Structure 1
Amino acid sequence: MKTVHSILAAFVIIAIAMVVFNAVMSLKREEKFKAGDRKLGLVALILTHIQLLTGLVTYYISPWYQTLKNVGMGKAMKDAELRLMTVEHPLTMIVAIVLITIGWSRHKKLAEDQAKFKSFAIFYGIAFVLILSRIPWAQWI
């Protein structure tokens, strides 16, 4: 399951980067919001939600979770690696996925093309930075 979670993470990062890049470039060019722009945002949304599900399964079967249960939250917060794997990574990823979901929902309510691109650029962009900040690079694959 860890391998699936790691491979899917690469697709999630690429998809979100594409959405943010497309939104920023389309804002600069003052383009119309097209079906392809919507589909790109939707693909990133779906991938992040699938990643959340695989992440939750991976979390609860991981040795990190077992260690957390054994040592307790107090000791886990004093260990940087354990804290990253059991608290910071999962919590930050959930916040990022919530931001992507808000960006998706918000864009649907907006009428102006530029506002839709701004919604994607801001919410998916912040989520992208959060995701990159808390990927356990040393643990990846």
Structure 2
Amino acid sequence: MYETVRVLHSYWAYLALLILLFASINAVLGFSGNRDFKNKDLRISLFGLIFSHIQLLIGLVLYFVSARFAMWSEIGMGGIMKDSVSRLYLVEHPIVNILAIVLITIGWSKHKKQETSKKKFGKIGLFYTLGLILILSRIPWDVWFS
């Protein structure tokens, strides 16, 4: 089961990142171009939200079925924090990515309360881009491309 979830988490990440990048760029271009916020823009942003949430759920399942999870009881917090690889997988990657999904969700929620298209694009552009940057900062790139 672990291997299946790990592969799913890895491949879904490509799709989620691509859609999130597209949603961020769309929002920034809409903001800077003073476009009207249309159904197409709503759907692009919604897909970014949905795909990132699905990625989070897959990641949480992977976290708890991973053999690394047992390290919490084996070597404890001090041992995990001393080992950079364990710290990345067990602390940094999950916490930063949860924070990123929270920011994306805040952006989605705040855009709905805005009256003008420019403000809608602004909220989505700001929060989705911040979330994307956080996600990109904690991807284990050396493992991802090998």
TM superposition score normalised by structure 2: 0.93
Structure 1: distance between partners of 2:104 and 2:12: 17
Structure 1 unmatched ranges of 5 or more: none
The superposition leaves residues 67-89 of structure 1 with CA deviations (integer Å, 9 ceiling, x where unpaired) of: 23311111100111100000000
Q: Say what the alpha-carbon RMSD is for the aligned residues.
A: 1.0
Cα offsets for 1:30-75 (capped at 9, x unmatched): 1000100000010011111111111111001112212233111111
Report the counterpart of residue 22 of structure 1 in structure 2: 26
Distance in 2 (CA, whole Å) between partners of 1:68 and 1:12 is 29
Conserved? CA contact 1:15–1:43, under 8 Å:
yes
User: How far apart in 1 are the matches of 2:135 and 2:28?
Assistant: 19
Residues 1:101 and 2:105 are matched in the alignment: yes
1:61 aligns with one of 65, 68, 92: 65
Residue in structure 1 matching 2:53, options 41, 49, 52: 49
State whether residues 31 and 113 of structure 1, in contact with CA within 8 Å, keep that contact through their aligned partners in structure 2: yes
Q: CA deviation at 1:12?
A: 1.0
Structure 1 counterpart of 2:114? 110
Q: SS in structure 2 opposite 1:32?
A: coil
* C-alpha distance in structure 1 between counterparts of 2:20 and 2:14, whole Å: 10
- Percent identity, aligned pairs only, is 43
